[in-house]
Amino acid sequence: MEVRLTRRRVIVALVALLVVGGISGAIAMRVAKKAAESRENDNKAPVTLEFAPADLAVVAPTTLGKRLPVSGTMQPVRQATVKAKVSGDVRVITVRDGDTVQAGQMLVRVDTADLDAKLIERQGQLESAKAQFALAEKTLSTNQKLLKQNFISQTAFDSSESSLNVSRGSVMSAEAQVRLAQNALKDSVATAPLSGIVAKRHVQPGEKVAFDTPLVTVVDLREMELQAMVPAVDIPELKVGMTVDLTVDGFGERKFTGRIERINPATEPGTRAIFVFVGIPNPNSDLRGGMFATGRIALAAGAPVMSLPLSAVRSEGGQTFVWAIEDGKLVRRMVVIGRRDEESGRVELKTALPPTLKVLAARFENLKEGAPALVKGPDAGPPKASATATRQRAAS
């Protein structure tokens, strides 16, 4: 029994040794194969990248346009809030938010019962004053005749003349009171001070209002204004009348054109910025108050600066650089850039580079510093590895 167990153990051990030996042999063969492939790849010559002249650019002096960005909220240039000139109950409101109104159109009527009564009272006072004045005139005329006949004294005549003057003053005062009552009655009707659109109705019919209570706000959308804050250092380059190209949220790529109408004479407290007011024609009333707009102001071009195409400059890991070809190899040159000109597609280069340096203007992927590179001329033979092929390999 013990002999059989011993034979089984021996057989299992031999099988295990064979399996381990097979696995070790396979691993050794795989390692040897990889080492051979690595030696073969090392023996291969590096691929030379060829670029067409259209793929390259050189540093050149360029006059870059400068554009100052601006942004802000638009508001109508002309707007007014109609307020109550008399107190009372609102009897009629003829408009709602969004209604179009014309200058002089009735908007709100305040109850006039008290005003009517006051006008009647003032008119009665005027009639009484006129009657007293007429009586004083007759008395003075009679006394004048009596004075000539020496039937009354000069003092009595002067007293009647004084009474006439007092009566005349009373008539004038009563007439003024009547006009005030008439004006108050007229002010009970609020009219639109300008043609436009009702932006907000502040009261409802039946509501009691006091003097100077806001009733209706009317805006004229035919001309809008953008109020933008501009750094004080840029103000010397701005002039009234300069054109501003604008885009407005909600209108996609549609462009609007405005002009600088006014420039504030002082900076805002707590900032180093100055308000610039841009007028924007809006004949079709497409723009509305409160819309946000962004734009650029084209400033006068300065002196020419050394520049490169925007596509030639790359950023990676917080560093800005360009790829160049020097002595038949790709070289990565670190650069410092200045202002950009989106329209011309160029950027200011503050780092001095040789004017003959060939810089890659097109964007390529998987470039390695030190890789062989050359420029393929018009009569060059078939390329060993073209830039197009490099981009295709990157895409795959």
- Contact yes or no for 295/224 (Cβ under 8 A): no
Whether 132 maps to a domain, the answer reads: yes
Whether 382 maps to a domain, the answer reads: yes
The DSSP secondary-structure symbol of 335 reads: -
The DSSP secondary-structure symbol of 360 reads: E
Whether 236 maps to a domain, the answer reads: no
Domain finish residue from 187, 219, 240: 187
Q: Label residue 80 by pLDDT band (50, 70, 90).
A: very high
Whether 97 maps to a domain, the answer reads: no
Label each residue of 152-221 as H, E or C: CCHHHHHHHHHHHHHHHHHHHHHHHHHHHHHHHHHHCEEECCCCEEEEEECCCCCCEECCCCEEEEEEEE
Domain finish residue from 158, 187, 216: 187
User: For 6-48, how does the pLDDT look when each residue is reduced to its tens digit (9 = 90+)?
Assistant: 666 666 666 666 665 566 656 656 655 666 565 555 455 567 7
Our count of domains for the chain comes to: 2
The answer, as to whether pTM is greater than 0.75, is: no
Q: Rounded mean pLDDT of the chain? A: 82
Return the CATH number at 325.
2.40.420.20
Q: What is the pLDDT of residue 83?
A: 94
Identify the domain containing residue 55 by its residue range: 49-64+305-395
Whether 257 maps to a domain, the answer reads: no
Domain finish residue from 162, 187, 212: 187
Whether 322 maps to a domain, the answer reads: yes
Whether 247 maps to a domain, the answer reads: no
Return the CATH number at 150.
1.10.287.470
Specify which of 287-291, 298-302, 328-332 reaches the highest per-range mean pLDDT.
Answer: 287-291
Residues 314 and 391 grouped into a single domain: yes
Whether 220 maps to a domain, the answer reads: no
